[in-house]
Every structure is written in C-alpha cells, then in structure tokens.
C-alpha cells in the first residue's frame, strides 16, 4: 500500500495550527502523532485522555460507544483545539475521528486544522492490537471498521499507509505539510511539562 500525500486541488493555503491524526484503534495514531509532534516541536495530546470515565468503562467491557457517548468527548477535543489556536499555539492530536460528522465537530470551518489519515487493513491492525495493552479490546476493532468513513478529497487529508515502520511514516507527512524534518516552524508552541489541556 503506497502513501497518498497529494493535497486536494482546492487545498487551503493556510498553514496548520493543529493536525488531527485519525484512524481506527491500533493503527498507530498515538505513536505517529507523538513522533510528528516531536519533529515539529508542537504540543501532543491523545484524544483517549478526553474520554469520560463512563466511556472508558464501556470500552473496557467490550461495549461499542454510541454517538451519544461520543459527542461530549468530541466537544472536549474540539475545545482543546480551539484553545491551542486561541493561544497562537501548534498541536497534534491523535483521535479516531471515524465519521465525517465527528470530523465536522473537530475541524468544521477551521482552515488551520489539517487531517492525517493512517490507513491500514483490518487483519494487519488486528495482529498489532493482539500484541499490546489498550483499554479497547481487539474484539471492538471490527465495529470500528464498520463505522469508518474514510475522508474524502474535499477534506484535504494527508493519507499514509501504516505498513512501514513508524519513523518512515512521519517523513511523507512532513513532506505533505511542506515541513522539512528537523526544521520546525518559527515560534513553536511548547506546552509546560505535565500540564493538562
């Protein structure tokens, strides 16, 4: 599976303040997001941290979340995005963002928020989930693929395959963002160590 990093023809010229690394559980969102943030010297957040305890408990129990469960969570992530932008900062957030309606909450008309989609097949991700500890059991993976609505060209996504090693995935993302690895944008936003959203 090759990387697809060409922006849409109507891509916004606005440089991103925040990028959302999306995909199903086990695709490597947290790993890639943290590496990307490290290269850019931007703040990193994992949307899993924004789930209320009731959602985490349901996922621990193998119960798929409903949209009703997700709206407060998505609003919390969107609030973090807006606060980062309001402060003139830069951030990377790892978030499943499986449906277009979810991405509308997170991105909407925010021209300075860019979407990165980590694409991989279910069998590969299932093998990876089986080898790690996570509050979402592998049994819920199929439900994630059923819910997944891949981003369309009008969402101007950067689409990359998850087959290569993590560090090889970051380079084409930086290229598509027009960022040279090791040369972060001017005045990066550095969040105080240990501070929350």
Q: What is the pLDDT of residues 94-139, one digit of tens each?
A: 999 999 999 999 999 999 999 999 999 998 888 887 776 655 566 6
Q: Residue 66: is its pLDDT beyond 60?
A: yes
Q: Residue 153: is its pLDDT beyond 60?
A: yes
> Distance (Å, rounded) from C-alpha 11 to C-alpha 180?
19
CA distances from 165 to 25, 80, 107 (A): 17, 29, 28
Phi and psi, residue 4, nearest 5°: -120, 100
Q: What is the CATH number of domain 28-168?
A: 3.40.50.300
Phi and psi, residue 30, nearest 5°: -65, -45
Phi and psi, residue 115, nearest 5°: -105, 130
Query: CB under 8 Å to 69, separation ≥6 — which residues?
Result: 54, 55, 58
Lowest mean pLDDT among 26-30, 43-47, 57-61: 57-61
pLDDT tens across 24-39, in order? 988 999 999 999 999 9
pLDDT at 142: 84
pLDDT at 62: 76
pLDDT at 134: 55
Q: Which band of pLDDT confidence, cut at 50, 70 and 90, is reported for residue 187?
A: very low
pLDDT at 150: 97
What does the pLDDT average to over 1-8?
Answer: 42
What does the pLDDT average to over 61-70?
Answer: 86
Lowest mean pLDDT among 9-13, 120-124, 193-197: 193-197
């Amino acid at each position: 599976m090759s990387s697809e990093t060409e922006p849409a023809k109507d891509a916004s010229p606005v440089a991103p303040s925040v990028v959302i690394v999306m995909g199903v559980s086990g695709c490597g969102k947290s790993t890639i997001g943290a590496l990307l943030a490290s290269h850019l010297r931007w703040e990193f957040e994992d949307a899993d941290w924004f789930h209320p305890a009731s959602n985490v408990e349901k996922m621990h129990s193998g119960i798929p979340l409903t949209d009703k469960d997700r709206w407060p969570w998505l609003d919390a992530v969107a609030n973090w995005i807006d606060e980062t932008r309001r402060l003139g900062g830069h951030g990377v957030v790892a978030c499943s963002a499986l449906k277009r309606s979810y991405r509308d909450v997170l991105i909407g008309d925010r021209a300075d928020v860019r979407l990165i989609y980590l694409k991989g097949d279910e069998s590969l991700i299932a093998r990876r989930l089986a080898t790690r500890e996570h509050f979402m059991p592998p049994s819920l993976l199929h439900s994630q693929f059923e819910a997944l609505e891949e981003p369309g060209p009008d969402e101007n996504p950067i689409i990359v395959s998850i087959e290569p090693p993590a560090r090889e995935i970051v380079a084409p993302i930086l290229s598509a963002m027009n960022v040279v690895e090791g040369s972060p944008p001017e005045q990066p936003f550095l969040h105080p160590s240990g501070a929350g959203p």
